[in-house]
């Protein structure tokens, strides 16, 4: 089955073709980062309009790369949520329109389930069951995964997610959007011993996260440095280092607890923050101590992309799921734990 996947949940237009026998055939991505950078964050209306401009040319680009015609597609899947409702509707309406024209099945896919499946695109994919750390945009979650649609939420952020905290901290430091990679780059030249920021919610039981207080602590540190006339480039780098290490330590501590609580030996990490090198290194060391293994997608599949949506959708299509033609889904808020396993799995 050759499946066209469409991702338009936020500020990246992603398209891919996934073959259930051959694997990923072709994919393409257009990022709107440059357009949103001057505003310091995503402007929903601009994002929706740009998806409208980019989507059809990207679909043709991917078909050309795969050496396929549109009528050779067997199904179309798209991100149905969560995300920006206008952006979601661009992908949903395009997918349903194409599916009706080609008379093929169409299915709306959960964005976070796509991230969850992204490591399956690699040569050595994880087997079920595993613990998943999902750190994408406004989501930071730990999930026990027993199979597709068989999810148990172990913990999640009660306020700001890790990615949001990175972006807001970058803005405080005068760095460009998106903030995660910029903070990480600045932190490389920071002194790890100058500041120690709190590791929120690690001094109590449980697997929930909270990064709002850490963000406030960072702002307070910067203001104190500014008032003392000490906020120079090195001080900014030192603050970035302290902030990054606090986030990484917090995520690692919670992952360690999740592995211990579930008794599982496989940890999947996905989403934009999973590209952070310090986080990858720390989790690898923790996994080695527990004779466990960490899995994550290659860098270009950590952020939003069409390949993960095509793969996740293909798995559910094989189980017989599909949308009713003409009834597209665009769900801005959609808890992943409400998903159900495909019938018969």
Q: Are residues 152 and 232 in the same domain?
A: yes
Give the model confidence (pLDDT) of 220-237 as tens digits. Answer: 999 999 999 999 999 999
CATH of the domain at 239: 3.30.420.40
* Residue 62 scores a pLDDT above 60: yes
Q: Are residues 147 and 247 in the same domain?
A: yes
Residue 122: inside a domain: no
Q: Are residues 218 and 105 in the same domain?
A: no
* Local structure of 30: helix, strand or coil: strand
Gap between the Cα atoms of 283 and 200, Å rounded: 18
Q: Tell whether 137 is in a known binding site.
A: yes
Residue 105: inside a domain: yes
Of the candidates 11, 5, 3, the one whose C-alpha atom is nearest the C-alpha of residue 47 is 11
C-beta neighbour count of 263 within 10 angstroms: 8
Q: Are residues 212 and 83 in the same domain?
A: no
Gap between the Cα atoms of 94 and 282, Å rounded: 41
Q: Tell whether 304 is in a known binding site.
A: yes
Residue 345: inside a domain: no
Residue 202: inside a domain: yes
Q: Are residues 143 and 287 in the same domain?
A: yes
Q: Tell whether 167 is in a known binding site.
A: yes
Gap between the Cα atoms of 8 and 28, Å rounded: 13
Q: Are residues 43 and 104 in the same domain?
A: yes
Number of domains in the chain: 2
| Domain assignment of residue 221, given as a range | 127-296
Q: Tell whether 50 is in a known binding site.
A: no
Q: Are residues 82 and 182 in the same domain?
A: no
- List, in order, residues 6 or more apart from 94 with CB less than 8 Å away: 6, 55, 56, 59, 78
Q: Are residues 17 and 54 in the same domain?
A: yes
Q: What pLDDT, on the 0 to 100 scale, is given for residue 334?
A: 94
Q: Are residues 113 and 174 in the same domain?
A: no
The pTM of the whole model exceeds 0.75: yes
Q: Are residues 35 and 83 in the same domain?
A: yes
Question: In this structure, what DSSP letter does residue 9 have?
Answer: S
Give the model confidence (pLDDT) of 273-301 as tens digits. Answer: 999 999 999 999 999 999 999 999 999 99
Q: What pLDDT, on the 0 to 100 scale, is given for residue 37?
A: 87
Q: Are residues 242 and 283 in the same domain?
A: yes
* Residue 91 scores a pLDDT above 70: yes
Q: Tell whether 139 is in a known binding site.
A: no
């Amino acid at each position: 089955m050759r499946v066209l996947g469409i991702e338009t949940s936020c500020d990246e237009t992603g398209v891919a073709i996934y073959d259930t026998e051959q694997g990923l055939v072709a994919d393409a991505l257009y990022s709107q980062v440059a357009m949103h950078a001057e505003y310091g964050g995503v402007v929903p209306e601009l994002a929706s309009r740009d998806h409208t401009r980019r989507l059809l040319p990207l679909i043709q680009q991917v078909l050309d790369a795969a050496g396929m015609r549109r009528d050779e597609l067997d199904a179309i899947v798209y991100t149905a949520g969560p995300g920006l409702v206008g952006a979601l509707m661009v992908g949903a309406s395009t997918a349903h329109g194409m599916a009706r024209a080609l008379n093929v099945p169409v299915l709306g896919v959960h964005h976070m389930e796509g991230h969850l499946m992204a490591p399956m695109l690699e040569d050595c994919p994880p087997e079920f069951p595993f613990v998943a750390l999902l750190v994408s945009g406004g989501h930071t979650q730990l999930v026990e995964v027993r199979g597709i649609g068989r999810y148990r939420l172990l913990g999640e952020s009660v306020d700001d997610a890790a990615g949001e905290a990175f972006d807001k901290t970058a803005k405080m430091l005068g760095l460009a959007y998106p903030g995660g990679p910029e903070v990480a780059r600045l932190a490389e030249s920071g002194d790890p011993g100058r500041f120690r920021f709190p590791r929120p919610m690690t001094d109590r039981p449980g697997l929930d996260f909270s990064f709002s207080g850490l963000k406030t602590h960072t702002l307070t540190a910067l203001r104190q440095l500014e008032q003392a006339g000490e906020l120079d480039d090195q001080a900014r780098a030192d603050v970035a280092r302290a902030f990054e290490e606090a986030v990484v330590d917090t995520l690692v501590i919670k992952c360690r607890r999740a592995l211990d609580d579930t008794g599982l030996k496989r940890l999947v990490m996905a989403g934009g923050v999973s590209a952070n090198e310090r986080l990858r290194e720390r989790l690898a060391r923790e996994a080695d101590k527990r004779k466990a293994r960490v899995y994550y997608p290659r860098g270009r599949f950590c952020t939003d992309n069409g390949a993960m949506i095509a793969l996740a959708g293909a798995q559910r299509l094989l189980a017989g799921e599909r949308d009713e033609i003409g009834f597209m889904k665009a769900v801005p808020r959609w808890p992943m734990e409400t998903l159900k396993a495909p019938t018969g799995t």
